[in-house]
Structure formats: C-alpha cells, structure tokens
Amino acid sequence: MKKKIGIIEDDQFYDHRVNVPVQECPERLRSIYHQIRKPEYGDLFRFYPPRLAGTKELLSIHSGLYLDQIRNHCVTSNPFSYDKDTYLMEDSFHTASLAVGGCLTLADALLADEIDSGFAFVRPPGHHAEVGRGMGFCIFNNVAAVASYLRDVHGLNRILIFDFDAHHCNGTQQIFYNDDRVLVFSIHQANLFPTCSGGVEEFGEGKGVGYNINIPVFPSYGDNEYNCLLGKVLLEVVCQYSPQIILVSAGFDGHAQDSMSDLQLSTEWFGKLTRTLKFYSSIYSTNKLLYVLEGGYHLRYLTESVMEVIKALAEPVPDEVSFPFSPRARELITSALMPTLQYKWAV
Ligand SMILES: [Zn+2]
C-alpha cells in the first residue's frame, strides 16, 4: 500500500493569539488547513493528533529558568510583557508545547516508516527561540526539539536541519553550535532580523566546527540564485555528511510577495526545492524528509507555496535535478562562502 504524507494540524494551534493585528496570527494556519482538509487530498495524507511535549523534552533545548519565565509571562495581563513581537497569553505555553509535541509525533511516525514524509503545520514558529530566550514570534524551538529527540532518544548522529526561512535561525544555530551530530544549514537574507547573527563566519565551535553553515544572501536574490547556491553548496554538504534524516525549517517569507523580506522567490520555487531535497535524500540520505512550518505571512502565497511543497512531496522522486548558473551566486560562493566552507567541506 502506498504510504502517505504525515500531517500535524489541530485547531488548538489557533489558541495562541492576541486581539490586535499581528503578522504571526492563527489565520496563517486557518488558510493552510482550509486547503489540506479538502476531501480531494483524503488519500494523500495521514493525519496525526499532536501530543504535548513533556518538560524533559523542552529541557533538552531550553533552560529551566526560561521555561519558568514563559510560564510567568503567560499569566500577566499584558501579552507583550516579555517581548514586543513574541506575545504570550494564557494558552501560549500549552500551544507552544503542543507545537513541539506535534513535531515529535511526526518524527516518530517517520522513523517507524508509517509515512514517506511529513509536514507539521504548527504555530507558534520556533527557529528564533534560543536556549534561554524567545524572540521573533518564537517560544519553543520546534525543529531543534525534533533534532534533539532524534539524537538522544533514537540515537541518530547525523541529522541535517535545512532552514530556508528568509530570516536566520539564530536559535537553532545556538542550540547545536558545539554539536557535530546536528548540522544546521541556513540560507537567508543577510542582515534581516535578527541582525546580529547569520554570517558565514559563524561556523560552529568545538566539536561542532564546520557543522553550522550560513549562506546570507543579498535582498534581491530569487529562484535562479537560490538554485545555483543550493545546487553547488547544499548538494556537496549532503553528499559528504550523508544525513540519516533531513529536517526542514520551512519558512515562506522569502516569497516575492511577502513583505517580511526583500527576497524574490516564486511560489513554484518551493516545489522545485522540495523535488531537489527529495532527489538528494534518495541518493545521499534515507528518503526521510520532515518539514516544520516556520514563517510566511502573506496568507495567499503562504498557502499556495505550501501546496507546491505538498504536490512535490506526493510525486515520485525525480530522476534528476538541474541547476542554473548564476554569476551573482557564483561570485558569492567563491568570494564569501568557499574560504570558510573549505575548512571542513570540499565545495
Ligand atoms: Zn522568517
């Protein structure tokens, strides 16, 4: 029997909300859920109810002090008492724990071979959340919790996190900065939020040297430049690292119509990227792809881009993928990326 795409979706993820206009809002998921709940996708998906992450699972990536701070801010009357972006209200701790637990549920299903791939449609997003600090709409670092769980509970020691959100994954980077069992690879717009992280020179420390790769790109970069960069750099890294699983921090705010960045990615690009990842995974990894939703704030293009990913996940693995040549991307590789990458990787 054909296996399916595992999906985490639940109306409880709407419970984290405020009564003022904010970009990270329940409507993001409402729009996606409206599409994926259509009967025509009935045979394609296997839906899993999310579970709550336990304290031990949260403590594998966050400090106890931080968990206490979040609990305390959730009961104050001002939802912005913790941070100007990262609002917290009564249900936020519960919803954020459910987001982590949902991702862990999907990871278990993928490792048990119940599904071909998975997409966790959860919120709040997670990749900015550091060990002891939430920021940028993120409370708990969902994808980091999955990597930590796979490492500590399932014993995996070559886990790739690929983050294509327009913003740098400062939290994910920090959590695994000294760890060679989790390779964090991020492509993002340079000097966007958070402006203090995401440079090429942030390459890991100690055992983790070489296992943190940042590709900060210029604001006007779009499909062609991204494809050239990923075709050259990501391909080489996946080939040499041979990950046991690829976790994808999937942010859609690099779309040309999303006002949160100046990137120029098309809707179709997100599908092409997924085909590329499937192709890489089939040759150099284990065909296990788990997507976790991060950013993406233009409701229409977020949803359409997500559906491009779903469409690509449902297709057979492509026989080949091709990469265009982009002079601008090539220049970035030779002038900025290669000098650092070559300490560890043959690029
Ligand atoms: Zn983002």
Q: What pLDDT does 69 receive?
A: 97
Mean pLDDT of 246-265: 98
Mean pLDDT of 18-33: 97
Q: What pLDDT does 2 receive?
A: 57
Mean pLDDT of 15-30: 96
Mean pLDDT, the chain, whole residue set: 96
Helix (H, G, I), strand (E, B) or coil at 177: coil
Q: What pLDDT does 285 receive?
A: 87
Q: Rounded distance, CA 48 to CA 224, Å?
A: 36
Q: What pLDDT does 20 receive?
A: 94
44 Cα–ligand 1 center, Å: 28
Mean pLDDT of 228-241: 94
251 Cα–ligand 1 center, Å: 6
Residue 298, CB-side half-sphere exposure with 13 Å CA sphere: 16
Q: Rounded distance, CA 287 to CA 344, Å?
A: 25
Closest C-alpha among 205, 231, 212, 198 to residue 329: 231
Mean pLDDT of 46-74: 97
Q: What pLDDT does 42 receive?
A: 82
Domains of the chain: 4-341 (3.40.800.20)
Within 10 angstroms of residue 240's Cβ, the number of other Cβ atoms is 12
Q: What pLDDT does 324 receive?
A: 87
Closest C-alpha among 145, 111, 127, 140 to residue 6: 111
Instruction: Please identify every residue whose CB atom is under 5 Å from ligand 1, which is an ion.
Output: 165-167, 251, 253, 295
| pTM summary value | 0.97
234 in Cβ contact with 265 (< 8 Å): no
182 Cα–ligand 1 center, Å: 21
Within 10 angstroms of residue 55's Cβ, the number of other Cβ atoms is 11
**Interval 221-234: pLDDT, tens:** 999 999 999 999 99
* Residues belonging to the active site: 128
Is the pLDDT assigned to residue 1 strictly greater than 60? no
Q: What pLDDT does 157 receive?
A: 97
Q: What pLDDT does 218 receive?
A: 95
